[in-house]
Structure 1
Amino acid sequence: MPASPLEHSFIAGLDRDLTASSGATIEVIAPFSGAVLHELPLSTHNDVHDAYARARLAQLAWARAGFAHRRAVLLRAHDLVLARWDLILDAVQSETGKTRGQAFEELFQAAGVTRYNALTARRVLRGQRRRSGLPLVISTRVRYRPKGVAGVITPWNYPLSLAAMDVIPALAAGCGVVQKADNQGALSILSLRRAFIDAGVPAQLWAVVAGDGTEIGGAVTNEADYICFTGSTATGRVVAAQAAANLTGVSLELGGKNPLIVLDDADPVTAAADAAYACFSSLGQLCVSTERIYLERGIAPTFIREFARTVTGLRLGGAFDYSADVGSLTTQAQLDRVTAHVADAVEKGATILAGGSARPDVGPLFFEPTVLEGVTPDMDCFAAETFGPVVAVAVVDTEQEAILAANSSDYGLNASVLSGSPRRAMRIAEAILAGSVNINEGYRGSFSAVDAPMGGVKQSGLGRRNGPEGLLRFVDPTTISRATGLLQLPRSGREFAKLAGPMLLLARALKLLRRR
């Protein structure tokens, strides 16, 4: 396998950007080769505490600097991210095992998120006049105040884009950030952060710490004024409980067991290609990727044949170019989980239509994209998230059966509908219980729509990132009302007696005028 193209000096430079003082390190493994990529410095509880203290001081000046200053800095950062695209892509591939194309999706998303928040924050957060209960008598405005310092906990699977979707709106809103990077994604996050620091973001405003979640995760959560967490549902519950103890706001993007419905009016060849990408981008290590496919009976034989052929033809590889269709799993734990899910399904009667095997001949953590048929509720992969290159196909007789099957999950993060009829697909999309639904696309439509909210329902999370909703997470609204002096509000029984009648007439008049 090819060695990582990252230079030692580049890695060492980024490592120095971590808030870490203990001198302890941990080996980070390059997924493509299994070799040690670098020694990552580990942060302590004291490091986290110090990072919050410094970020709070920097945040005061950053908030006072105003929207125009923050916009200019973020737009410069946008340009630097694009200018350094090749080095950043190298970092993402080296840590995650993604293909070049799927790493590029991350970089493109990070740039889009930066541009959007830079240009949108003032419009969404500058405050506005609101209707008063007594027009002309009372004037009311809403102002937004940055919450302070956000704690952001980012996983390894999409370190660049997930960091951007939480950190950048916080910065645009005038907040500081203490971010816990997963050990396997720290270089990617630090390479992104370096572009922002060089663009003018104060280094202490966006601190990055790294280490085991059980060691420092609680410290990141407990000192935050708002918490953004992306990860498993089990860990999300722990973070939510810690946040609740402090009455701290939280947004959680958690697990998914995402369904894809293929209707009988879809083109089977196109649908097979779209479904393959929906399932196996980043080798399935994506919270919004597809793990369940429901086929209307009329298209099932043709689709299954085309899908198996497409999946079998996907090129596995670890090159730092665009020659591979799918890359590697990221960690040994991921490989073990995928292997166990496939073995359990086969042992209990499922049929492998494509893939099914590890590929150590390609690299230590490669696993073939795998299609299973005949998956039943007693199999581990039926309801639990595999988070790897495994998808189960099943045949249904009606649209209603497909909707019921899609909704029969504890999760509700993302879903997809493939159809030749936009109207029919929209009708089904509106009936699916998920935070986002894509029509004739797996996940990239909603994932890339940075002006629209993204998040889950049921056990897939709380809150939303992206769009105005993503910015409003990081501010506290303050309502400011002023008596204009046009009319004195009643303060005594005698004054109420005089004004009760006219105020009742006013209430009736406002209803007739349809004034809220």
Structure 2
Amino acid sequence: MVATDHTPLTAPASDRALPASLTPARIERLATGVTAAPGAARVTTRAPYTGAPLAELPVSTPEDVEDAFVRARAAQRAWAATPLRERKKIMLRFHDLVIARQDEALDLMQAENGKTRRDAFLEVLDIAITSRYYARSAARYLEPKRRRGAIPLLTRTTELHHPKGAVAVISPWNYPLSMAAGDAVPALIAGNAVVQKPDTQTALTALWVLDLMREAGLPHGVWQLVIGRGSSIGGALMDNADYVMFTGSTASGRVIARDAGERLIGASLELGGKNPMIVLDDADLGRAVEGAVAACFPSAGQLCVSIERLYVAEPLYERFLAAFAARTKQLKLGAAYDYSVDVGSLTTPSQLETVTAHVEDAMAKGATLLAGGRARPDLGPLFYEPTVLTDVTPDMTLYEHETFGPVVSVYPVRDEEEAIARANATAYGLNASVWTGDGARGRAVAARVHAGTVNVNEAFAAAWGSVDSPMGGMGDSGLGRRHGADGILKYTEAQTVAHQRVQGFTAPPGISPETWAGLLTRALKVLKAAGVR
């Protein structure tokens, strides 16, 4: 079924030439940051807005990856010996450079990814917050800590954290600044070296980050970038890394987890999601509608934590649906290197194919289209309208499979119990959103949702931006966490050093083992009575 008049506003397809900052010479200079042998084969990336060639990047071989790890390990030893206060200063200088040079980053992200400038700016904000947080908090997590010893007063116990060594960071194309820098920063400040494989499509942004970090004072060799398909260099990354941080698909995450398990190294995996939003019967309708727009369509829906399923309480359902569809149609779709556009382009042809296939499958099987539902080649090769569907059923592909595009399905629910049950009826568990006029009720509902982060009266930014708290997925959405203590300690090996003074657990000379056991038993009772932990 198709509702009428579902075409969103569009921005004029006016000047979509590359910004002045992205000259051929600048792009070529950035490309020299790739770790690859002289005369390496090159790959061409294309600008999503136009489909025109953007950059030619050297392609790394497995041998290049191995060489990168050799150099990284050599550099890491000196880097780990650098006092933490000096590593902190570099991160704070990097923070300042990101803010001061943000227009360069915004131009790069838009050119490579096709997102709007406002969505790109959120990545600048994210990396500034993350780099400041770990620079200011690293000592709290990494410096030696006294721990309670086995025998009070006689055992001195200290917890130490040593860097893992050389960390592999595999970052995706959808958030090229956040994912390139956000996971590298804590790994570096913890004293590790990083060998990173960004997605080739958005490698220029990662290379810009590397260039900026070196300008801030990071020694050469400590952070290196390699370019290539996972099928070509993924094995070399896994064979040489001491730890792996991966953001991407659940299917790829399973392979990385398997390979990491074979080598007995750690891995942190942020994977797919089919994220739900719940609108309870006491929610403010206007706020919930605006929240849904902000939740579903940032970066053209190409965001791991964006919402693809909306569950709305029946008393609000019809009014919410009408307002949400109308608001979606008002979104301005187009290409512009300024803040005038609401929704940008998809990034790759394969993503356009997935979005198109999911919507066409749903429509063919009886879904109702309330907004969007069309590719827009008149605007550019990869544009797709923000799309709202109802009457989506389990036999439709997008019902439970991640679309990763500007497409959302909306469902009525009787009460919060049904909303929670349906929100949890998925193998994924990355992010969720709850909307209500009662904060305590919202937090109670949130605690029952199977997701690593749940936002009350916000889409995803509240939890993501709370960098002092862990962020990651449950179930098929991944393993491990970024942000907070977990986000830096995962890059370290914990070590306990226990120094025993005077007397240990063995009987001293002249006392029989039986008598000694009795003395220790009485000591245990005394310690418990005294409230000692």
- TM-score, normalization by structure 1: 0.98
Structure 1 counterpart of 2:312, from 295, 310, 313: 295
Structure 2 counterpart of 1:33, from 43, 50, 75: 50
For residues 507 and 206 of structure 2, the distance between their equivalents in structure 1, rounded to whole angstroms, comes to 58
For residues 405 and 488 of structure 1, the distance between their equivalents in structure 2, rounded to whole angstroms, comes to 55
Aligned-partner residue type, residue 190 of structure 1: L
For residues 476 and 507 of structure 2, the distance between their equivalents in structure 1, rounded to whole angstroms, comes to 50
Shift of 1:247: 0.3
Preserved CA contact (<8 Å) 2:481 2:487: yes
| Gap change, CA 1:488 and 1:337, over 3 Å in 2 | closer
Q: How does 1:221-232 map to 2 (within 5 A)?
A: 221-232=238-249
Shift of 1:111: 1.1
Q: Counterpart in 2 of 1:125? A: 142
1:434 aligns with 2:445: no
For residues 170 and 156 of structure 1, the distance between their equivalents in structure 2, rounded to whole angstroms, comes to 20
Preserved CA contact (<8 Å) 1:438 1:445: yes
For residues 420 and 223 of structure 1, the distance between their equivalents in structure 2, rounded to whole angstroms, comes to 52
| Gap change, CA 1:396 and 1:488, over 3 Å in 2 | closer
| Gap change, CA 1:401 and 1:73, over 3 Å in 2 | same
1:17 aligns with 2:33: yes
Q: How does 1:42-81 map to 2 (within 5 A)?
A: 42-81=59-98
Q: Secondary structure at the match of 1:299?
A: helix
1:95 aligns with 2:112: yes
For residues 198 and 28 of structure 2, the distance between their equivalents in structure 1, rounded to whole angstroms, comes to 17
Q: Secondary structure at the match of 2:525?
A: helix
1:403 aligns with 2:420: yes
| Gap change, CA 1:488 and 1:462, over 3 Å in 2 | closer
Structure 2 counterpart of 1:3, from 5, 10, 17: 17
For residues 327 and 96 of structure 2, the distance between their equivalents in structure 1, rounded to whole angstroms, comes to 37
For residues 514 and 27 of structure 1, the distance between their equivalents in structure 2, rounded to whole angstroms, comes to 67
Structure 2 counterpart of 1:138, from 134, 152, 155: 155
Structure 1 counterpart of 2:215, from 192, 198, 203: 198
1:275 aligns with 2:292: yes
Shift of 1:494: 4.6
1:452 aligns with 2:452: no
Q: Which runs of 5+ in 2 are unaligned?
A: 1-12
Preserved CA contact (<8 Å) 1:416 1:441: yes
| Alignment RMSD (CA, Å) | 1.2
The C-alpha deviation readout for 1:353-377, integer Å capped at 9, x for no partner, is: 1100011111111000000000000
Structure 2 counterpart of 1:173, from 160, 168, 190: 190
Preserved CA contact (<8 Å) 1:156 1:184: yes
Preserved CA contact (<8 Å) 1:136 1:486: no
Give the count of matched residue pairs.
516
Q: How does 1:376-387 map to 2 (within 5 A)?
A: 376-387=393-404
The C-alpha deviation readout for 1:158-181, integer Å capped at 9, x for no partner, is: 111112221000001000000001
For residues 273 and 166 of structure 1, the distance between their equivalents in structure 2, rounded to whole angstroms, comes to 30
Q: Counterpart in 1 of 2:6? A: none
For residues 336 and 309 of structure 2, the distance between their equivalents in structure 1, rounded to whole angstroms, comes to 29
Q: Which runs of 5+ in 1 are unaligned?
A: none
The C-alpha deviation readout for 1:111-131, integer Å capped at 9, x for no partner, is: 111111111111111021111
Preserved CA contact (<8 Å) 1:338 1:386: yes
The C-alpha deviation readout for 1:408-442, integer Å capped at 9, x for no partner, is: 00100000001111111111101100000001111
Aligned-partner residue type, residue 385 of structure 1: E
Aligned-partner residue type, residue 13 of structure 1: R
Q: Counterpart in 2 of 1:373? A: 390
Q: Secondary structure at the match of 1:362?
A: coil
Q: Secondary structure at the match of 1:216?
A: helix
Q: Secondary structure at the match of 2:125?
A: helix
For residues 303 and 342 of structure 2, the distance between their equivalents in structure 1, rounded to whole angstroms, comes to 15
Shift of 1:20: 1.3
| Gap change, CA 1:492 and 1:245, over 3 Å in 2 | farther
The C-alpha deviation readout for 1:69-120, integer Å capped at 9, x for no partner, is: 1001111111111111101111111110110000000011011111111111
Shift of 1:492: 7.6
| Gap change, CA 1:488 and 1:284, over 3 Å in 2 | closer
